[in-house]
């Protein structure tokens, strides 16, 4: 059982996980990556980057095993993902999640992601955040 299913069973029902069946194919295209954090050979954290278009990337699969939280692993994973996106040349990174994943939300907000959209679905809110990597992207966002 993975972290999503164990900790967020209601969310897991609505979030397809077929990308994890073949990470190489799912995250192996140019401009995409999947990073893991290891402890004694065991995967304790993950984050993925998927290309939306030539200027936008999606940050996905941000998870840290419960016993490894509060050790800066999530921050390091996000930092590596942001560094990768800058290297590729993306203008912005989008992170979509739900209000039940409050630790991931706080971590991304702490890193500079800003809210873009919120949609209530029953007791849960679907949230969309963005991190603007280039000043031109930030100025375009302000003009909309």
Q: What is the pLDDT of residues 2-48, one digit of tens each?
A: 544 555 455 545 555 566 666 777 788 999 999 999 999 999 999 99
Q: What is the pTM of this model?
A: 0.78
d(CA 104, CA 41): 24
Q: What is the pLDDT of residues 43-101, one digit of tens each?
A: 999 999 999 999 999 999 898 999 999 999 999 999 999 999 999 999 999 999 888 88
d(CA 103, CA 98): 11
Q: Going from the N-terminus, what domains does the chain have, and what CATH number goes with each?
A: 3-143 (3.40.630.30)
């Amino acid at each position: 059982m993975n972290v999503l299913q164990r900790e967020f069973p209601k969310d897991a029902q609505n979030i397809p996980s077929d990308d994890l069946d073949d990470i190489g194919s799912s995250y192996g295209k140019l401009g995409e990556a999947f990073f893991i954090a290891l402890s004694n050979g065991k995967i304790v954290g993950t984050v993925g980057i998927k290309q939306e278009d030539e200027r936008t990337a999606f940050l996905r699969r941000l998870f840290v095993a419960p016993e490894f939280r509060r050790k800066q692993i999530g921050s390091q994973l996000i930092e590596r993902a942001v560094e990768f996106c800058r290297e590729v040349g993306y203008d912005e990174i989008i992170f979509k999640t739900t209000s039940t994943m409050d630790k991931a939300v706080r971590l991304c907000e702490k890193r500079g992601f800003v809210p873009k959209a919120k949609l209530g679905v029953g007791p849960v809110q679907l949230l969309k955040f963005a991190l603007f990597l280039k000043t031109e992207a930030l100025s375009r966002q302000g003009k909309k």
